[in-house]
């Protein structure tokens, strides 16, 4: 689950606050990462981890409020979900869940990100062309009753009671109390675009903004080429390393970034990488910088140039954001850990594991990446 950035310049009009026993804004309850699947102790519930926008739905009759993690409502961006909530959820309720966007039999996070747009006309068009769904996984209030203090086992039972049918745009996430089945889901559901398992103690109340649940995510490794770096916002030290992989076309594509270095290490990396600093005109991505500079003041473009993945473009959300980088000769290889791919890029920031002096840059290709076996999203929601 992720949180989109609000487009720069967007002016939010105040939205009506539903008169419910639990009222917005409510920061959602969170999960802390663990390496291994927690074993069943008699209290645990296991759910698929959906890859979308976390959202708490508040409905009071015709008033619907789609809350987000950063407390900026999603309501205006997903008009089709507002109508679905009115049609498919009880008249007065508060439901925690995830906004997702299926494309075919899988989730499409790239398409979901496109739904956050400042233009009302485009919001309307996208709501018709790429409609979203809401996956419910917790019940915070029903009617005039707050369920925040009730244990999750009770909240889940009440939630199941408001979903008599497994159809529509508002769906109920599957759940199991079997850690063995959870491990099976962990391996198979990734093929539909899900990214792990959430584990919930059944005896705990709903605690906003606290990591009282657990999440188990995939971790894989890849050998990548270090192609440059961006400076840290605090000064002339490494903020993030730009990573590349060679495609079948023989070109070096931008696959993501590695960050999260201690500050002392960021300064060391500047000195360590200094011998590799190159002229931008001689760098495989040099043409990107020229094109990006030419687009200043122009509508934001996508991150692909002529089929080649490059390190960004004018930011879609903030045209003033500095996306410049220090080019490095693509000669050093490092091993990174990552969780999943989104198209041909790492879905999240990769993490440095070790340098690989035994690998040549040309050997770092997309072929090494593990791809999950495809799995039908409808089969998950039919459970």
Tell me the two tokens of residue 171: 């769906």
- Return phi, psi of residue 204, to 5°: -105, 145
Count how many residues are written for the chain: 383
- CATH for 30-218, options being 3.30.470.30, 3.30.43.10, 3.40.50.1820, 3.40.1350.10: 3.30.470.30
Predicted pLDDT of residue 340: 83
Residue 59 burial by Cβ neighbours in a 10 Å radius (0-12, 13-18, 19+): buried
- Pair of tokens at residue 73: 């409502």
Q: What is the pLDDT of residue 185?
A: 96
Residue 93 has pLDDT above 80, yes or no: yes
**What is the band of 278 on the pLDDT scale with cuts at 50, 70, 90?**
very high
**Which pairs count as long-range contacts for 356-361, CB under 8 Å and 24+ apart, including other chains?**
356/223, 357/333, 359/223, 359/333, 360/333, 361/225, 361/246, 361/330, 361/331, 361/332, 361/333
Q: Are strands 145-146 and 351-355 parallel, antiparallel or unpaired?
A: unpaired
**Does pLDDT of 307 surpass 80?**
no
SS3 label, residue 86: helix
CATH superfamily, region 220-368:
Nucleic acid-binding proteins (2.40.50.140)
**42 φ, ψ (degrees, to nearest 5):** 100, -5
Summarize the confidence of residues 244-268 as an average pLDDT. 92
Q: Average pLDDT of 236-245?
A: 94
Residue-wise pLDDT tens digits, 3-32: 565 444 443 455 666 789 999 999 999 999
Q: Determine the pLDDT at residue 302.
A: 38
Fold equal for 30-218 and 220-368: no
Q: HSE, CB side, 13 Å, CA atoms: give it for residue 197.
A: 28
In the structure, what pLDDT confidence band is assigned to residue 57 with cuts at 50, 70 and 90?
very high
Domain ranges of the chain: 30-218, 220-368
- Examine the pLDDT at 174 and tell me if it is beyond 90: yes
For residue 129, give every residue at least 6 positions away whose Cβ sits within 8 Å of its Cβ, in sequence order, or none. none
pLDDT range class, residue 310, cuts 50, 70, 90: low
**pLDDT (mean) for 193-210:** 95
Tokens of 223: 């050998």
The whole-model pTM stands at 0.77
How far, in Å, are 117, 213, 338 from residue 236 at the CA level? 33, 38, 26
How far CA 15 is from CA of 45, 72, 104, in Å, comes to 35, 10, 33
Dihedral of CA atoms 263, 267, 269, 275 in degrees, nearest 10, equals 170
Rg (CA), the chain: 22
Name the pLDDT band for 295 (thresholds 50, 70, 90).
very low
Query: What pLDDT is attached to residue 16?
Result: 65
Percent of the chain scoring above 70 in pLDDT: 86
Q: CA 75, CA 78: separation in Å to the nearest integer?
A: 6
Give Cβ neighbours of residue 23 (< 8 Å, ≥ 6 apart): 17, 58
The model's pLDDT over 212-224, given as tens digits with 9 standing for 90+, comes to: 999 999 888 999 9
C-alpha 193/C-alpha 320 separation (Å) is: 32
| DSSP labels, 218-249 | --EEEEEEEEEEEEETTEEEEEEEEEEEE-TT
Structure confidence at residue 119 as a pLDDT band (50, 70, 90): very high
Q: Residue 87 CB: number of other CB atoms within 10 A?
A: 10
Distance of alpha carbon 331 from alpha carbon 363, whole angstroms: 11
Residue 358 has pLDDT above 50, yes or no: yes
pLDDT tens profile 72-84: 899 999 999 999 9
Neighbour tally for 354: CB within 10 Å: 10
Q: Which residues have a catalytic role annotated?
A: 49
Query: Using an 8 Å Cβ cutoff, are 272 and 357 in contact?
Result: no
Determine the pLDDT at residue 104.
Answer: 86
pLDDT at 289 over 60: no
| The pLDDT of residue 135 is above 50 | yes
User: Of the ranges 1-10, 204-213, 258-267, 368-377, which one carries the lowest mean pLDDT score?
Assistant: 1-10
For residue 25, say if its preceding peptide bond is cis, omega within 30 degrees of 0. yes
Answer yes or no: is pLDDT of 167 > 60.
yes
* Average pLDDT score, the chain: 87
The three-state secondary structure class of 67 is: strand
Rounded Cα distance, 17 and 322, in Å: 37
pLDDT at 263 over 70: yes
Asked whether residue 66 carries a pLDDT value surpassing 90, the answer given is: yes
Question: Which pair of tokens denotes residue 66?
Answer: 């789609």
């Amino acid at each position: 689950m992720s949180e989109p950035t609000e487009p720069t310049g967007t002016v939010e009009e105040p939205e009506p606050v539903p008169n419910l026993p639990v009222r917005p804004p409510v920061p959602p309850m969170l999960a802390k990462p663990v390496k291994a699947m927690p074993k069943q102790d008699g209290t645990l519930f296991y759910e698929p981890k959906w890859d979308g926008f976390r959202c708490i739905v508040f409905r009071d009759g015709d008033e619907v409020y789609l809350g987000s993690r950063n407390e900026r409502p999603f309501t205006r961006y997903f008009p089709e979900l507002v109508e679905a909530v009115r049609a498919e959820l009880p008249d007065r309720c508060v439901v925690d869940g995830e906004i997702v966007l299926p494309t075919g039999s899988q989730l499409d996070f790239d398409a979901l990100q496109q739904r956050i747009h400042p233009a009302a006309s485009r919001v309307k068009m996208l709501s018709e062309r790429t409609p979203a769904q809401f996956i419910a996984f917790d019940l915070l209030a029903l009617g005039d009753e707050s369920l925040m203090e009730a244990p999750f086992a009770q909240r889940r039972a009440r939630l199941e009671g408001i979903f008599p049918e497994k159809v529509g745009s508002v769906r109920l996430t599957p759940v199991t109390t079997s850690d063995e089945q959870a491990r099976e889901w962990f391996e198979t559901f990734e093929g539909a675009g899900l990214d792990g398992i959430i584990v919930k103690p059944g005896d705990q109340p709903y605690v906003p903004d606290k990591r009282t649940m657990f999440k188990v995510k995939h971790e894989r490794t890849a050998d990548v080429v270090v192609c440059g770096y961006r400076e840290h916002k605090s000064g002339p030290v490494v903020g993030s390393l730009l990573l590349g992989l060679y495609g079948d076309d023989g070109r070096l594509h931008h696959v993501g970034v590695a960050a999260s270095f201690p500050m002392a290490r960021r300064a060391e990396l500047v000195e360590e990488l200094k011998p590799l600093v190159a002229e931008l005109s001689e760098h495989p991505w040099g043409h990107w910088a020229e094109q990006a500079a030419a687009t200043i003041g122009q509508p934001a473009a996508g991150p692909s140039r002529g089929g080649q993945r490059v390190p960004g473009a004018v930011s879609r959300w903030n045209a003033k954001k500095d996306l410049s980088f220090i080019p490095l000769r693509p000669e050093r290889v490092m091993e990174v850990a990552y969780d999943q791919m989104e198209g041909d890029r790492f879905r999240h920031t990769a993490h440095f594991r070790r340098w690989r002096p035994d690998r040549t840059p040309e050997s770092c290709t997309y072929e090494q990446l593990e791809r999950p076996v495809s799995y039908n999203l409808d089969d998950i929601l039919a459970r």
